[in-house]
Amino acid sequence: MNTEQYVQLDEQYGAHNYHPLDVVIESASGAWLTDVDGNRYLDGLSAYSAVNQGHCHPRLLEAMQSQMHRVTLTSRAFRNDQMGLFLKELCEMMGYELALPMNTGAEAVETAIKAARKWGYQVKGVPDNQAEIIVFDGNFHGRTTTIVGFSSEEQYRADFGPFTPGFPRVAYGDIDAVAAAITPNTVGVLIEPIQGEAGVVFPPDGYLKALAELCRENNVLLITDEIQSGLGRSGKMLATDWEDVRGDILILGKALSGGFYPVSAVLADEKVLGLFKPGDHGSTYGGNPLGAAIGREALAILREEKLVERACQLGEYTLAELKKIDHPSINHVRGRGLFIGIVLNEPARPYCEKLQTAGLLCKETHENVIRFAPPLVISRTDLDWAIVQFKSAFA
Ligand SMILES: *Cc1c(COP(=O)(O)O)cnc(C)c1O
């Protein structure tokens, strides 16, 4: 079968909830993808930062295979010999007392919301059903009904209501707006330290620190969604590390499994996550031994291959090179680590299609931004090649 036939299959049998580039990937390794016609592409998206460790990392493959032969799923009705080790390693690496494993990012966000609300009622003393969690314009936290209910993106919400109340929304990066939105019933502020889906948007310098301070002063939990920005992507382990900020609740996903399997987690200290009692929350696959074994290896790779440091060094270099491109269609280039947005004055899709022809796969985000977020294992040579492709796309 060729590309056209695969595309036709997707279109005929799949719901049309995505608009992908018409490239059909058959295999991948490291930073490179191969399509069904034998063309090779550099991956400029990393599955939205799920494959920070690179595609089909041999160590992850090995960890998955060896666990698959032992046991894959026990459910939480029984215990398994991988989950505890995974959570210990995760907690120690991130600096939290407890963790709760889930599968997809959206599930972890839902878990964080439930944890913050429970804390609000049981510890802060908010009256029943009055808890509020402040969210931001341009947010992306997933696609469940509760989560899309507080999106500022009209299309994400349209015809999916009624929605869960209790999520006042304010401008991203405006500390006064958050201060004004805090009430005695505010239990949390849910933020992406860098907004990936909104177009790699950064809050002003010092904002995260001021936000953490504001939360502390008002007895409000700072909930950091680092599903996309975390695990090395921004050149620090967590994007909040750039301002020495620590969320009261941390949400991880995507690269937590390096692309092999959906693994997400919520981390917090005992005073918050310790409030869950048996029966309060759960997931059939959450904490399963296969996912846990993969998660352990995904974290070990990040650490042992020094991917955070790599992202920092390579990112600084790439950003400087991309900023040199002088073209009227480019408004500006911004980024941290290997989390880079090329902001255009016009739609980005035609440029992404042009880059595709050149062998570099990027996806437009928010209409006019080209996001460049390659696997963190990318070589300097491949990065130089990618930079040349950007330069010629704008020549
Ligand atoms: C991808 C993403 C999610 C949702 O994760 P899924 O695994 O797609 O449910 C939530 N928050 C952020 C910041 C994300 O980038």
Task: Give the model confidence (pLDDT) of 198-216 as tens digits.
Answer: 999 999 999 999 999 999 9
Q: How far is the CA of 143 from the centre of ligand 1 (A)?
A: 8
- Residues (pLDDT < 50) of the chain are none
Strands (E), the chain: 25-29, 32-35, 40-43, 98-102, 132-136, 169-170, 186-191, 221-225, 249-252, 264-268, 330-336, 339-344, 360-361, 363-365, 369-372
Main-chain dihedrals φ then ψ at residue 194, nearest 5 degrees: -135, 130
Are 41 and 123 found together in one domain? no
CATH code for the domain of 217: 3.40.640.10
Are 24 and 83 found together in one domain? no
Q: Is 236 in the pocket of ligand 1 (CB under 6 A)?
A: no
Beta bridge partners of 252: 265
C-beta atoms surrounding 320 within 10 Å: 11
pLDDT at 28: 98
- In this structure, what is the dihedral angle of CA atoms 268, 269, 270, 272, given to the nearest 10 degrees? -50
Ligand 1: atom nearest CA of 264 is 7
pLDDT tens for 80-129 read: 999 999 999 999 999 999 999 999 999 999 999 999 999 999 999 999 99
Contact (CB, 8 A) for 232 and 376: yes
- Distance from the Cα of residue 85 to its chain's centroid: 23
C-beta atoms surrounding 323 within 10 Å: 15
Q: Is 109 in the pocket of ligand 1 (CB under 6 A)?
A: yes
Q: How far is the CA of 380 from the centre of ligand 1 (A)?
A: 28
Last residue of a domain, one of 254, 287, 304: 304
Are 254 and 316 found together in one domain? no
Are 75 and 50 found together in one domain? no
The tokens for 166 are 């209790």
Q: How far is the CA of 112 from the centre of ligand 1 (A)?
A: 13
Are 170 and 36 found together in one domain? no
**Domain that residue 377 falls in:** 3-56+306-393
Are 7 and 64 found together in one domain? no
pLDDT tens for 94-107 read: 999 999 999 999 99
Q: Tell the residue nearest (CA) to atom 5 of ligand 1.
A: 105
Residues labelled catalytic: 140, 225, 254
Q: Is 227 in the pocket of ligand 1 (CB under 6 A)?
A: yes
Last residue of a domain, one of 278, 304, 330: 304
- In the block, tokens 């909930």 appear at 223
Are 68 and 160 found together in one domain? yes
Q: How far is the CA of 38 from the centre of ligand 1 (A)?
A: 31
Q: Is 226 in the pocket of ligand 1 (CB under 6 A)?
A: no
Provide the number of structural domains found in the chain: 2
Last residue of a domain, one of 289, 304, 319: 304
Q: Is 251 in the pocket of ligand 1 (CB under 6 A)?
A: no
